[in-house]
Amino acid sequence: MRSHVQRKRLIRVGIVALLLVFFSVQMGFTQAADTFISIAFDQSVATIGRTPKLTINISNLGTTTVRVNRIQCFQTGTSLAASSIQGYPSTVAPNQGFNTTQLYRAASPGLTEVRCDLTATDLSTGQPFTVSSIPTSVNVLSETRLYFDAVSATRVATVGQTVFVQAKFGNRGKTPFTNLNLSCVELGRSLVFISSTPLQSTILPGQSGFVEYRWQAVRPGSAPIACSLTATDSVNGQPVTLPAPTINIEVR
């Protein structure tokens, strides 16, 4: 009789243990489902020597605080050389998040894909979990003769303010480039184009130049500006296109 009662007790203890394991795992999966990591480069195409910046965003949409154990990024390809990830908080409260960054150097031609993982712990259950980002990539071009960049001193503008962008370019090679075409496009609806300075049609070896664009801020919102330079190799007739990193401006 005693052995029968003991067996029933053991069965009950086993069932309780299984339920505890089940619920702890379920809670861990729930927290993982509510915690996200996303990444984005500031440029999808780069030339050798540039430093693409990767922004890493962590969001906790759950109801419990999570401890950040580690953020680690992995790359497929050899065209980018990574530096260390910048600092980040040790915990993320419910409905909170943060951004951190990691700089890369465009070292050689080719495509490199990057994915980042967040390893964290749900502090209410002690359950560890890992979430991964969707991969993103940078294509490093082999062009080293032409260089091009576009910058703005304005990052936040107010309605009515004039925003200036300077697009700078040069020829380090020994070949003249012709048919220069420079384009800067605002991808939102917060800026209105006013004017730009003239662009030369040819750039000789050792020469450089710039074009200044003017926009007016007309309504609040995000105003990313994408610039690119296209030129023709005068020796082989091949076109070369160099994009600049996107300029992100917020109008308030």
Residues of 181-197 as b/e, b for ≥16 C-beta within 10 angstroms?
A: ebebebeeebbeeeeee
CA proximity to 211, closest of 166, 174, 252: 166
The residue whose two tokens read 């969707």 is 134
Kindly list the domain boundaries of the chain, sorted by start residue: 33-141, 146-251
Please determine, for residue 84, whether its predicted confidence score (pLDDT) is greater than 90.
yes
What is the pLDDT, as a whole number, of residue 13? 47
Please determine, for residue 114, whether its predicted confidence score (pLDDT) is greater than 60.
yes
Question: Do residues 131 and 34 make contact, with C-beta atoms less than 8 angstroms apart?
Answer: no
**What distance in Å separates the CA atoms of residue 222 and residue 186, rounded to the nearest whole number?**
10
Q: Output phi, psi for 209, to 5 deg.
A: -165, 175
Residues 6+ positions from 57 with CB-CB distance below 8 Å: 36, 37, 38, 39, 40, 97, 98, 99
What is the pLDDT, as a whole number, of residue 123? 95
What is the pLDDT, as a whole number, of residue 30? 45
CATH node for 146-251: 2.60.40.10
What is the pLDDT, as a whole number, of residue 19? 43
Instruction: Look up residue 5 and give its two tokens.
Output: 């009662």
Q: Percentage of the chain surpassing pLDDT 70?
A: 87
Please determine, for residue 175, whether its predicted confidence score (pLDDT) is greater than 50.
yes
Q: What is the DSSP string of 201-249?
A: S-B-TT-EEEEEEEEEE-SSEEEEEEEEEEEEETTT--EEEEEPPPEEE
Architecture of domain 33-141: Sandwich (2.60)
Question: Do residues 176 and 204 make contact, with C-beta atoms less than 8 angstroms apart?
Answer: yes
Determine the average pLDDT of the residues in 139-150.
93
Determine the average pLDDT of the residues in 100-129.
96
Task: Find the farthest-apart pair of alpha carbons in the chain and give their distance in angstroms, rounded.
Answer: 101
Work out whether strand 156-157 and strand 247-251 pair parallel, antiparallel, or are unpaired.
parallel
Please determine, for residue 82, whether its predicted confidence score (pLDDT) is greater than 60.
yes
Instruction: Look up residue 174 and give its two tokens.
Output: 């020994």
Same fold across 33-141 and 146-251: yes
CA proximity to 92, closest of 111, 112, 117, 118: 118
CA proximity to 106, closest of 147, 69, 72, 134: 147
CA proximity to 106, closest of 77, 84, 135: 77
Tell the burial category of 161 from Cβ atoms under 10 Å away from its Cβ (0-12, 13-18, 19+): middle
Please determine, for residue 20, whether its predicted confidence score (pLDDT) is greater than 90.
no
**Mean pLDDT lowest for which of 42-46, 65-69, 113-117, 226-230?**
42-46
Please determine, for residue 32, whether its predicted confidence score (pLDDT) is greater than 80.
no
**What distance in Å separates the CA atoms of residue 83 and residue 166, rounded to the nearest whole number?**
28
